[in-house]
Structure 1
Amino acid sequence: MTTKEKFRVGASISAIGAGVVGTVIVLSAAQAESETTLPDSVEQALEQAVPQAEPDAVQPAPIDGFYEARFGNNVLYIDELGEHLIQGQIMEIATGKNLTDQVLQGERKRALEQLEQHELATYAPEGEPKGRITVFTDPNCPYCREFHEEVPKYQAAGIEVRYAMFPVIGAESPEIMDAIWCSSDQNTAMDRAKAGDSVEPQNEGCSTPREQHMELGQAMGVRGTPAILFDNGEKIDGYRPVGEVIEMKGAGES
């Protein structure tokens, strides 16, 4: 990575902490049943470490002697003797790939498909889009504003930018977001908000998908803004320059 990642954390929403499950949001419509035959030691370790929830899937981990258990957007690793539990990410040194994130990518892809196009603020390119990104954003996030300044460059490259609501910075952020979504011209309202100008709600009694977007974002592991997702489930946490985003795998996939 040649450019330092900029990442503003709005709130900590990790579902699993210190080996204990709090609220787990399952992305898939139904829990996946693992076909892996688990050693009794692994089953017992999971029951002891995470008694409040059933894993969505358990399978051999990409490192020998360990199993991986997925709980919504969280992955835990248990050694085959059931003596050690690891919460973290596995990186493949040779390729630089995040093997833990690959487990979750398919779930994020399915979650993105739940978003309704008419419930998003969309900046479409001229002509047929060559690709699409979905961005969870906050009106008060400085790096979101930096990203927004580059939206015309995405459009010029044929990339459609879809905004989802994730107001976590400042007590007034939810109200500003609602005003944008309830505007007769969402893009103009978004432009004003990103420039730091006030946005007044135009439609009384208007309802917005804010809570649904927040819940879905949390389920996909969004912990701050901006969070950029490709249709294939790849996720970028934080701001990256437009050139880097377009070059990344998945940016050209529709």
Structure 2
Amino acid sequence: MRTLSQRLAAAMFGLALVACGANAAGDSPESVKAAVEKKIPGRPVTSVRATPIKGIYEVVFGPKQVVYTDARGDYMLVGDLVDIKQRISLTEQRIRELSRTDFAKLPLDKALKLVRGNGARKVAVFSDPDCPFCRKLERDTIAKLDNVTVYTFLYPLKELHPDAARKSALIWCADERQKAWQEWMFEGKLPANDGSCATPVADLLVLGEKLGVTGTPTMVFENGEVLSGAIEAADFEARLVAKK
């Protein structure tokens, strides 16, 4: 992963390639959207808005791909836009904002459910049974949490783990699903069934695509924040109680 200084250098180099003149009369997010969609057919633009740099617009493709363009859509920048004074990536900040989802609308009935303590704090995790980072999250982070409810969405990434879909079915079809999940993640033991019951995996893959889930583990916290990776227990705790 690049450091902030590296991203800053790359962003400033990219901006130097664009003529950042004053906006021409009539330029607007709507006209930029029309220009970009005309020049890049087949890539619908989700949103466009001005950036702090005159003549440069933020363009969002799909759920959360952020790029930058001039008002005519003749030039495009792919990379981080950095606020030098605040030392923050406006691109990363925007992607986090776009990634937020309504936790209350998640299909929690299609998840495995683990309750610890009073279960007051809630989080949903998209997890692949053959993902080593998912196993690390379970063993090093989730195992250390208390007063939490963890909803696990089985999310086999077949391109990376060809046997993950079969294992997901075996776990879902077990008499005690959460127990089967933990036995697999902690002991490498799969339940003894044929995995032939109806599972929610296909629906969860569609859901994950809609939310922009491209890797596992991906967590959805109760405040709507979406985060990927096997983060440490202290960081996980902080996000469980974050209000926004």
TM-score class, shorter: 0.7 to 0.9
Q: Which residue, out of 95, 101, 110, partners 1:119?
A: 110
Determine if contact 1:133/1:251 at 8 Å carries over to the other structure: yes
CA 1:172–1:43 in structure 2 vs 1: closer, same or farther (change >3 Å)?
Answer: same
Q: Partner amino acid for 2:213?
A: V
CA distance in 2, matches of 1:112, 1:106: 14
Gaps of 5+ in 1: 2-35
Runs of 4+ more than 6 Å apart: none
How many percent identity over aligned positions?
Answer: 24
CA distance in 2, matches of 1:96, 1:215: 36
RMSD of aligned alpha carbons = 2.8
1:200 aligned partner = 192
CA 1:115–1:42 in structure 2 vs 1: closer, same or farther (change >3 Å)?
Answer: closer
Whether 1:164 aligns to 2:156 is no
2:232 aligned partner = 241
Q: Partner amino acid for 1:197?
A: K
CA distance in 1, matches of 2:128, 2:198: 18
Determine if contact 1:144/1:226 at 8 Å carries over to the other structure: yes
CA 1:222–1:91 in structure 2 vs 1: closer, same or farther (change >3 Å)?
Answer: farther
1:137 aligned partner = 127
Q: Partner amino acid for 1:119?
A: K
**Greater helix share, structure number:** 2
Determine if contact 2:37/2:43 at 8 Å carries over to the other structure: no
Whether 1:214 aligns to 2:200 is no
Q: Partner amino acid for 1:182?
A: C
CA distance in 2, matches of 1:62, 1:178: 49
Determine if contact 1:39/1:80 at 8 Å carries over to the other structure: no
- For residues 38-97 of structure 1, what are the alpha-carbon distances to aligned partners after superposition, in whole Å with 9 as ceiling and x for unaligned? 374663233202x11432222213544221222222223212243211233434455554
CA distance in 2, matches of 1:187, 1:144: 15
Aligned residues: 213
Determine if contact 1:184/1:202 at 8 Å carries over to the other structure: no
CA 1:41–1:160 in structure 2 vs 1: closer, same or farther (change >3 Å)?
Answer: closer
1:52 aligned partner = 42
CA 1:75–1:111 in structure 2 vs 1: closer, same or farther (change >3 Å)?
Answer: farther
CA distance in 2, matches of 1:162, 1:92: 36
How far does residue 152 in structure 1 lie from its aligned partner after superposition? 3.0
Gaps of 5+ in 2: 2-26
Q: Helix, strand or coil for the counterpart of 1:224?
A: coil
TM-score (norm 2): 0.74
Determine if contact 2:44/2:62 at 8 Å carries over to the other structure: no
How far does residue 219 in structure 1 lie from its aligned partner after superposition? 2.9
Q: Partner amino acid for 2:133?
A: Y
CA 1:163–1:81 in structure 2 vs 1: closer, same or farther (change >3 Å)?
Answer: same
Which structure ranks higher in relative contact order (CA pairs < 8 Å, sequence separation ≥ 6)? 1
CA distance in 2, matches of 1:199, 1:96: 50
CA distance in 1, matches of 2:99, 2:218: 12
CA distance in 2, matches of 1:151, 1:41: 45
Whether 1:70 aligns to 2:57 is no
Determine if contact 1:62/1:99 at 8 Å carries over to the other structure: no
CA 1:110–1:244 in structure 2 vs 1: closer, same or farther (change >3 Å)?
Answer: closer
CA 1:151–1:45 in structure 2 vs 1: closer, same or farther (change >3 Å)?
Answer: closer
CA 1:110–1:146 in structure 2 vs 1: closer, same or farther (change >3 Å)?
Answer: closer
Q: Helix, strand or coil for the counterpart of 1:76?
A: strand
